[in-house]
Amino acid sequence: RLSESIGNFTSIEVLDLSDNDIKGSIPTEIGLLSKLRYLRLSYNAFTGAAPVGLGKLKQLQLLQLQTNRITKMPNIPQLDENNYYKSTFVTDCGVPTAFDEALLCDNCTMCCNANEDCYPQEETRIAEHLGLSYVTFAVVLFACFVVFCCMVALSLYLFSNRKNSENAVTTSTERSEEDDKYALSRIGNESVYSYFVTDKVLGWLVAFVTLGIQIGLLVFFIIASE
């Protein structure tokens, strides 16, 4: 256990206690080390919330708290990455996580997960250029796809009405059969979506269930990738 008396060493600038199997919580007195520039408490067994005083260490240039059991981080300002780059501020904010919910750390430069794999916390290209998360982008993309399909369906409907008005000799049954054959040639006779051009309720149900499963899998992988 790390003693509260650590707060008495107010002149200390470098503190590296990593990989020592230290248990218990990080003492709040560590926030009294106003000259501290380098703090490594990684690879121990610290538990509970990190002390709020960590956010008040104005001289801090490196803070590494990964591979512990810290469940909550205080508001710590963004640290200068010029000296230690992506290793400047590291916590267990990665996924998969050993906690019920992933540790929140907005200003961390690197996040480690339950497998002790650490990755730089960087914006994706979508977030950088569009300001959207993967999930939001997927929803917008799917909505655009639905709108596009509706526009295509409306265009085909209008085209069909115009064609029918010009050729009144063709019966409605013949037109329906021709439309079904054309749709099947585009969808594919062996595709599950071919049920959409039938009048069977069970066929439509199978097609909709398949579509729902595919969308669910897509959302799952998008969330996992983010």
Phi, psi of 64 (to 5 degrees): -125, 115
**pLDDT 10s digits, 20-44:** 999 999 999 999 999 999 999 999 9
| Span 13-17, average pLDDT | 95
Averaged pLDDT of the chain = 82
Say if residue 223's pLDDT is above 50: yes
| Span 84-109, average pLDDT | 89
Please indicate whether residue 62 or residue 158 has the higher confidence score (pLDDT). Answer: 62
pTM of the model: 0.59
**pLDDT 10s digits, 146-203:** 788 778 767 766 776 676 665 554 455 555 566 666 666 666 667 766 766 666 777 7
User: Which residues are within 8 A (CB) of 66 and not within 5 positions of it... i.e. 6 or more apart?
Assistant: 42, 43, 90, 91, 92, 110, 112, 116, 118
Say if residue 11's pLDDT is above 50: yes
Q: What's the confidence (pLDDT) of residue 43?
A: 94
* Residues 63/38, Cβ–Cβ less than 8 Å: no
Q: What's the confidence (pLDDT) of residue 140?
A: 82
Q: What's the confidence (pLDDT) of residue 169?
A: 47
Q: What's the confidence (pLDDT) of residue 136?
A: 78
